[in-house]
Structure 1
Amino acid sequence: MSVQRTILAGVALAAALAVSGCASIKEHRGYIVDETLTSSVQPGIDNQASVAGTLGDPSFKSEYGQPTWYYVSSVTGRKPFVRPRIVNQSVLAVKFDAAGNVVAVDRTGMDKVVYLRPDGAETPTLGRHRGFFQDLFGNIGQVGAGAGPGQRTGGGPNGT
């Protein structure tokens, strides 16, 4: 009877270890959100200097259009040997006017996350499709072909 209990305990321990080995690994990426600080940014009151002093440097800034600072935070979860998936994401967009004053503060979350799936293993390109041997031997006789007999090779830009 005690041998059966020992075996049963060993099987239970092995199952517990197997399940814990498959547990999801969570990683925090990007800006660390502090709700008190992010809610303190107010349109019409704050400017770029006060936002930088309160929230720090943004994750990135807009290059074109209305000046906007983005603070991106995401939590990913993944199981061992599997590609990570986004579990939670928040984006704080602070928009400024031309004078540098806060105009709007927008918050978005998982509703804006998009998963992209590439089409196959090749990148589509424009131009002609060449085979392996055409790529390998296609430039023979093309590169470095000098002037033939009786032809001058010009030394200057005009061939003189």
Structure 2
Amino acid sequence: MLKVVNRLKPATKSLVFVACLAAAGACTPIYKNHGYVPPAEELAEIKVGVDTRDSVEEAIGAPGASGVVRDSGYYYVRSRVRHYGPKRPEVVARELVAISFDQRGVVRNIERFGLEDGIVVPLERRVTDSNVQDKGFLRQLLGNIGNFNPANIPGAN
């Protein structure tokens, strides 16, 4: 085996070395962090029953999300996702801080949830689905031939 390796040209040796490095690098997990959750020290500065929406934003920053209803809370979410080779990305940590307000806009409660508590916090992205199906460009372009109705033309009456 050693004789075979010694016979290889330097360019081939370099190519084999690069291929081995690429294979080893593909097995290394890559972590990506998304979102923001204020540190515990900053959350400790918020006084329940005293601070308002404006003072919360000033103290810890604008939330990543807020409720749909006007008097609902602020939500700060942070996720850590592990990408490992060709496998599907996996959420390894997720933390959510929920700050709720009363009708006057005063802080009512501060809660912290996470995966380690056994509470799964599912995040959803609602994206409008397109009508484009698994058809090629020409099939989509020519697909409406024969479906033409002159009565649908505006001003044709």
Q: TM-score, normalised by structure 2?
A: 0.62
Matched position secondary structure for 2:42? helix
Percent identity between the two aligned chains: 22
53-62 or 28-37, larger mean C-alpha shift: 28-37
Amino acid at match of 2:122: V
Amino acid at match of 2:121: V
Counterpart of 1:146 in structure 2 is: 156
Counterpart of 2:66 in structure 1 is: 61
Matched position secondary structure for 1:45? coil
Matched position secondary structure for 2:150? coil
What is the CA-CA distance between 1:75 and the residue it aligns to? 1.0
| Equivalent residue for 2:48, pick from 43, 46, 51 | 43
Aligned-pair Cα RMSD in Å: 3.7
Q: TM-score, normalised by structure 1?
A: 0.61
Amino acid at match of 1:31: Y
* Structure whose alpha-carbon radius of gyration is higher: 1
What is the CA-CA distance between 1:16 and the residue it aligns to? 7.0
Q: Which has the larger helix fraction?
A: 2
Q: Deviations over 1:102-149 (max 9, x none)?
A: 101111112223388xxxx998xxxxxxxx8984422243433834xx
What is the CA-CA distance between 1:51 and the residue it aligns to? 1.3
Gaps of 5+ in 1: 124-131, 148-160
Gaps of 5+ in 2: 7-15, 132-139
How many aligned positions are there? 131
CA contact (8 A) 2:114 2:120 kept: yes
